[in-house]
Amino acid sequence: MNNHPRLLITTLVLFIATTAHASEEILIQDIQFHGLVRTNEKTAQKIILPVSKGEAFTEVTEELIIQELRKAGIFNPEIRVESEIIGKVAFIDIFVKDRWTLIPIPIFSFSNDGSWNVGVLGIESNLLGRYKTLGLGFFYGSDGWSLLNIYSDPNFLGSDIRFTTGLSLGLDKTEDQTPEEETIRDYSADKTKISLGMSVPVSESFSFGGKWSFNRSIHLENNSGAAPVDDFSSTGIQGSLKWEQLYYDIPFEYGFLASSGLGWNWGLDDTKDYPQIEGKVKWALNPFYKHQLALIAHSAWSRDLPPQEQFRLGGRPGSLVLPMGKIAAQEYWSSSASYSIPAWSFKGGTLALKGFYDMGAYKSDLEETNFFHGPGMGIELFINDLAIPAIQMNIAWNLETGLYQFSAGVGMGGGE
């Protein structure tokens, strides 16, 4: 019986303490965007979730808003947030500038091995001001031509699910080489690919996705007799997991990213299975103010993939020392360590210098395991008002072969 008064008193004290704590909480009364021209304000409000009216205002609210807006990629990264607290409520003003997204983006790349590619990508990454992406591109070069159509909706049917579709077709002139740039297979094919995908967030950092695809490759001719290339049609599914904790600064991003994918294709002509596994890890550090140290590792494995569907190496972090897109692999691993320094910050952008070292190994259906490694350097040009990746140029040496690779393009060797 004597325990009841004590229990009552304890409950009363806890209630008073909880009420007092709740009364100290500052709530967001209003959020106003300034500078929106093309972006719908409701869309901008969705982008900064979980920050919204009625939610608690904390010491990290302003930084969270900036990070979510930079992550979206449709605003100039120079974003300003001002807050005014009156009593127990907060009023937030967000000053942004829409990036120019509806532009024909010239795409160019070339390498000292004689390969080149030019084209134009008409992409709208803020369709009707609602943060949806629609793109149409045409590319032509030494490896043939291709037509590309993509669509992406990060808020599918008002949810947090990202929905994507893609269609590509064209003439593919493929030349597979050894690390010494000796041609071992040369063929041409008409290729078509259709894909549908979804990505579902589980938490702020973790998401999983799924994709269905259809591939069709009609072999036209063999220009070398090293190995026959047959017609190929397949359909398949792929599941993926992604963990991402990134901090977006100007011009670089920092943090950790890891992803893995398991795919399974079925040949429609030969009824054969083609499993494949891919994985990636990226860790970007900020050792000094505005510097970036990035460590990246890729790995992939497949079984019995036909030449048209094998992994292509070269022209990306970890394999910039290899001929761009001319190394075909059934399985590979690659890694890269790079250090980037802003050399010139000007109104509207940044010019950065980069040094890197790549190394790895791969195995194709025609060769045993080959190793590669070597140093390189490059420049990156970031333009704040354009919603495109950095314009880059890189030169790298393969110390295994003594050959060098020079490449230039939009978004090459950077990002993920």
Query: Mind giving me the DSSP string for 65-100?
Result: HHHHHHHH-SB-S--EEEEEEETTEEEEEEE--B-B
Residue 243 and residue 196 in one domain: yes
Residue 124 and residue 28 in one domain: no
* Residue that terminates a domain, selected from 57, 76, 95: 95
* Residue that terminates a domain, selected from 95, 116, 136: 95
**What letter does residue 129 receive in the DSSP assignment?**
G
Domain that holds residue 18: 3-95
Residue 416 domain-assigned (yes or no): no
Quote the pLDDT of residue 197: 97
CA angle 295, 301, 304 (to 5 degrees): 155
Residue 84 and residue 206 in one domain: no
Quote the pLDDT of residue 412: 53
Residue 382 domain-assigned (yes or no): yes
Q: Which residues contact 273 (CB under 8 A, 6 or more apart)?
A: 264, 265, 266, 267, 303
Cβ atoms of 88 and 27 within 8 Å: the answer is yes
Residue 115 and residue 44 in one domain: no
CA distance 224 to 221: 9
Residue 355 domain-assigned (yes or no): yes
Residue 180 and residue 31 in one domain: no
In our burial notation (b when 16+ CB lie closer than 10 A, e otherwise), range 222-257 reads eeeeeeebeebebebebebebebebebbbbbbbeeb
Quote the pLDDT of residue 223: 64
Cβ atoms of 135 and 123 within 8 Å: the answer is yes
**What Å distances lie between residue 406 and 200, 316, 320, 324, CA to CA?**
38, 12, 9, 9
Quote the pLDDT of residue 11: 52
Residue 19 and residue 114 in one domain: no
Residue 280 and residue 392 in one domain: yes
Cβ atoms of 220 and 188 within 8 Å: the answer is yes
* Residue that terminates a domain, selected from 95, 111, 144: 95
Quote the pLDDT of residue 20: 44
Residue 152 domain-assigned (yes or no): yes
Quote the pLDDT of residue 230: 76
Residue 273 and residue 304 in one domain: yes
Q: Residue ranges of the chain with pLDDT lower than 70?
A: 1-23, 113, 223-228, 271, 411-416
Q: What is the CATH number of the domain that holds 27?
A: 3.10.20.310
Residue 199 and residue 133 in one domain: yes
Residue 188 and residue 301 in one domain: yes
Quote the pLDDT of residue 220: 75
Q: What is the CATH number of the domain that holds 392?
A: 2.40.160.50
Residue 112 and residue 75 in one domain: no
Residue 28 and residue 171 in one domain: no
Residue 18 domain-assigned (yes or no): yes
Residue 129 domain-assigned (yes or no): yes
Number of domains making up the chain: 2
Residue 118 domain-assigned (yes or no): yes
